Amino acid sequence: MKTDSNKNIIQLFKHNNDSATVTKVADDFDLVRGGMLSELNIAYETWGSLNKDKSNVVVIFTGLSASSHVASSSVDQTPGWWEAVVGHDKAINTKDHYVICINTLGSCFGSTSPVSINKKTNEPYRLTFPELTVEDMANASSLLLEKIGIDSIKVLIGPSLGGMKALAFSILHSTVVKNLILISSATQALPYAIALRSLQREVIRKDPLWNNGFYSYKKPPLNGVRIARKIGMTSYRSASEWTQRFGRKKSDDNKLNQNTFGIENTSFEFEIESYLEHQAVKFQDIFDANCYLYLSRAMDWFDVAKHGESTLDAISKTKIDKALVLGVTTDVLFPSQQQKEIAELLSLSNTIVEYQELDCIQGHDSFLVDTNRFSKEIENFIKSL
């Protein structure tokens, strides 16, 4: 990680994304709900080259748990989280475009967050981190873009939480965004999604090791984070995918003495259980518990309607030329009904909108899995601009 402030990031977790650039974008950053960060650092990565008139910028906002490493690069050849979609001659073509992926304010992958050192106390912020909203994330990204001299985005892309940030950014910094791609996003959090996130936060907070946020970074509340991740995963995929993929198959590591539920048992009988465990263990080792709480709560708080007299009034503050809105039929967390609503609202706000409801089987996470289908839609849209 190239950084002028890397001492400000707790390094005890495997949190950091070594290929990201971390830049100080503000000294005093005021947050929307009050509170202030005395130093704001944002981590980001870029691919391709900025053209002369700076008209080829594609900005990617990430979901809850992703770093800025959206694709491999000469600096870091490990595959990124959207490797199939971003790159040379791929849907988001880095041959033609200057692609910037920005790590969320509040995320533990390089940007200022609850694991960062508060300069005033020389201790990590933990729960003294100010209340964080999606709007703060958008504003921090705006400061980064200013800092690196970008005042116009050809295409702003956001999946999931990234889409919420992209909507907030398009309202708050409307002159910057020309075109928009929103994937499985929402104008506001609905109660089923709030319930699942609230439960995840409760599980973390009830882990005795969490210790009111003052856990040891060497012995963090892994049970809480792991179980939270599993709860999340029940809404990231779809029941039908799991029926097709796992059915009632038994796990390879089914060494469980079936008569005991003892806590020392870490093997699972069914393959679906091992799958969840495996994915969640990977996550517990890289994601900070307090960061997770802040990002999760910010999603619950998000409601575009706060920016106007109604949701439509708020959306009408955007100045998007063209938008592509993609939803997935099997998404239960950000249901396609919400995508259709976004498309209709943008359309009523003088944006040319293309709306596609894809019948992918992988639920909310389809954009990460069914990348062929998403690539096709994204590529066609960008080529049409």
| Residue 57-96 contact track with a copy of itself, rule CB under 8 A, x = bound | ----------------------------------------
160 is catalytic: yes
263 scored as a contact of a copy of itself (CB under 8 A): yes
Distance CA 372, CA 196 (A): 29
Catalytic residue among 113, 141, 160, 316: 160
Q: Rule CB under 8 A: is residue 259 a binding residue for a copy of itself?
A: yes
Residue 223 within binding range of a copy of itself, rule CB under 8 A: yes
364: annotated active-site residue: yes
CA distance 271 to 146: 48
Kindly tell me which residue out of 165, 173, 201, 307 binds a copy of itself, with binding defined by CB under 8 A: 201
Q: Which residues pair with 356 in a beta bridge?
A: 326
Nearer to a copy of itself, 163 or 221 (CB): 221
Position 230 contacts a copy of itself (CB under 8 A):
yes
Q: Which is nearer to a copy of itself, 74 or 257 (CB)?
A: 257
Token duo for residue 288: 């900070």
Least distance to a copy of itself, CB of residue 287, Å: 16
CB of 54 or CB of 270, closer to a copy of itself: 270
Strands 117-118 vs 153-159: parallel, antiparallel or unpaired: unpaired
Is 4 among the residues known to form the active site?
no
Number of C-beta neighbours around residue 264 at 10 A: 5
* Distance between CA atoms of residues 246 and 93, nearest Å: 35
Strand ranges, E, within 137-226: 153-159, 177-183
Looking up tokens 């959090």, which residue turns up?
189
C-beta contacts of 9-12 below 8 A and 24+ residues apart: 9/41, 9/110, 9/115, 9/116, 9/117, 10/115, 10/116, 10/117, 10/124, 10/217, 10/288, 12/217, 12/218
Any contact of residue 242 with a copy of itself (CB under 8 A)?
A: yes
Q: Give the range of 157-165, 245-253, 308-316, 349-357 binding a copy of itself by CB under 8 A.
A: 245-253
Q: Which of 74, 77, 122, 258 binds a copy of itself (CB under 8 A)?
A: 258
The span of 2-10, 72-80, 240-248, 351-359 binding a copy of itself (CB under 8 A) equals: 240-248
One of 7, 175, 191, 218 touching a copy of itself (CB under 8 A): 191
8-state DSSP, 72 = -
Q: Is 50 exposed, middle or buried (0-12, 13-18, 19+ CB in 10 A)?
A: middle
Complex with a copy of itself: residue 94 or 362, whichever CB lies closer? 362
Report the candidate in 182, 195, 173, 36 with the shortest Cα–Cα distance to residue 112. Answer: 36
Name the DSSP letter for residue 9.
Answer: B
- Please report, as ranges, the residues that interact with a copy of itself according to CB under 8 A: 33, 35, 127, 130-131, 188-192, 194-196, 198-199, 201-203, 205-208, 210, 212-213, 223, 227, 230-231, 233-234, 238-239, 242-243, 245-248, 258-263, 268-273, 276, 290, 293, 297, 300, 303, 332, 335
Q: Name the residues annotated as catalytic.
A: 160, 331, 364
